[in-house]
Amino acid sequence: MLGATKVKGRRGSPRRPFCFRLVIFAKAPVGGSVKTRLAREMGLAHALRFARHTAAALLARVALDPRWETTLALGGTVAGRFWPARIARRAQGYGSLGQRMQRVMDALPRGPVVIIGTDVPALKPAHIAAGFRALGRCDAVFGPAHDGGYWLVGLRRRPHIPRAFVNVRWSSATALADTLENFTGLSVALLATLGDVDDAQSFAANGRAFGRRVLPAGACAPSRGGAGAAEPTPHAQRMKGPRSK
């Protein structure tokens, strides 16, 4: 981090200072690689426009916030003129989404890590800040999505890093429930429920926030409980044993 002082460990080896770390998972917004379902339903040009404008708006809102250090975790090549030069980049690597996210959780230096994607138009810095606050008292934090997945996952990563993404049915209505099965005995906080955009229906539900760098009042879709998500308040719980299926 620029301007930071290196802290030396017990044997004199340099250590990076403790800080909050935000990782944004993204793909280069090119045809055939992003928002394929949206492209099938609304056309390739519309899907690419959504991917490009939403990613750019999100980065403008959250990436340079001084409260955390931001890294772009990119699928495919890390090169490309689309990504801002001031933001650090790393490759996601191979494997399922869970394997790629676990790799990031294992590899980054000390401190809590929060991972988000780029397809939640209503995501604000306040949501990310709420996630990091929750990690001050919980082992993990999730931002539930209306479709059964999640738009944010964060781990405290101490005293150890849990195997968080084992046996998860990705791109299904059980993705969050499956992930929570891996946190038995650990404390978990849940943020406001937001909508991500994968198809024409979810695009229509989240259209007010599309491509906006400054979000309008009420841009967040209402949570399942009916209350607005303007100020996310984490709800903490301790996970019990496996649920009956």
Residue 8 domain flag: no
pLDDT for the residue numbered 236: 65
Q: Is residue 3 very low, low, confident or very high in pLDDT (cuts 50, 70, 90)?
A: very low
Residue 10 domain flag: no
- Mean pLDDT score of the chain: 79
pLDDT for the residue numbered 121: 86
CATH of the domain at 190: 3.90.550.10
Strand order in the sheet with 150-155: 88-91, 69-75, 21-27, 113-116, 150-155, 140-144, 187-190, 235-238
| Integer Cα distance of 52 and 44 in angstroms | 12
DSSP class of 221: P
DSSP class of 222: P
Q: Is residue 225 very low, low, confident or very high in pLDDT (cuts 50, 70, 90)?
A: very low
* pLDDT > 80? residue 189: yes
Residue 152 domain flag: yes
Residue 222 domain flag: no
pLDDT for the residue numbered 35: 66
Is this prediction's pTM over 0.85?
no
Question: Cα–Cα distances in Å, from 146 out to 75, 127, 214?
Answer: 25, 16, 23
Q: Is residue 185 very low, low, confident or very high in pLDDT (cuts 50, 70, 90)?
A: very high
Q: Is residue 221 very low, low, confident or very high in pLDDT (cuts 50, 70, 90)?
A: very low
Residue 12 domain flag: no
Q: How many angstroms separate the most distant Cα atoms in the chain? A: 58
DSSP-derived 3-state class of residue 237: strand
The two structure tokens encoding residue 205: 């539900």
Domain count, the chain: 1
* pLDDT > 60? residue 96: yes
Residue 196 domain flag: yes
The whole domain housing 127 covers 17-211+231-238
pLDDT per residue over 60-87, tens digit each? 999 999 999 999 999 877 767 788 889 9
pLDDT for the residue numbered 33: 66
pLDDT per residue over 97-124, tens digit each? 999 999 999 999 989 999 999 988 889 9
Q: Is residue 210 very low, low, confident or very high in pLDDT (cuts 50, 70, 90)?
A: low
* pLDDT > 90? residue 191: yes
Residue 224 domain flag: no
* Cross-strand bridge partners of residue 27: 75
